[in-house]
Amino acid sequence: EAGVTQSPTHLIKTRGQQATLRCSPISGHTSVYWYQQALGLGLQFLLWYDEGEERNRGNFPPRFSGRQFPNYSSELNVNALELEDSALYLCASRSRDEQFFGPGTRLTVL
């Protein structure tokens, strides 16, 4: 069974640009979670999608947004990038009460 996949692996942008990150959940999983993990910090919850709907969002500004497609894959968009947005962005899909993480996208904002 394939795990959670994320693309791209690395992304380099400049301040003010937009970034789009993609995630494909494990087959059969309908819930997708997005987290930000900045260097030296824990995982910060960003967004939760289930069955195509945004179910909850963490304490992040509106320039962090996303969507979930009919095939349950998901996209995270970050607009007006700031230097402090540099982090590892992790996607997870859920089976019952367990989350399974992808390898992450490392976003660097210059």
The residue ranges that bind other proteins (CB under 8 A) are 4, 31, 33, 35, 41-43, 45, 48, 50, 55-56, 58, 88, 90, 94, 96-104, 106
Nearer to other proteins among residue 40 and residue 62 (C-beta): 40
Task: State in angstroms the smallest separation of the CB of 99 from other proteins.
Answer: 6
Rounded CA-CA distance 47/17 in Å is 21
Task: State in angstroms the smallest separation of the CB of 38 from other proteins.
Answer: 11
Task: State in angstroms the smallest separation of the CB of 82 from other proteins.
Answer: 22
Question: What are the beta bridge partners of residue 88?
Answer: 37, 106
Nearer to other proteins among residue 35 and residue 109 (C-beta): 35
Nearer to other proteins among residue 78 and residue 90 (C-beta): 90
Return the closest-CA partner of residue 39 out of 74, 87, 102.
87
Task: State in angstroms the smallest separation of the CB of 80 from other proteins.
Answer: 26
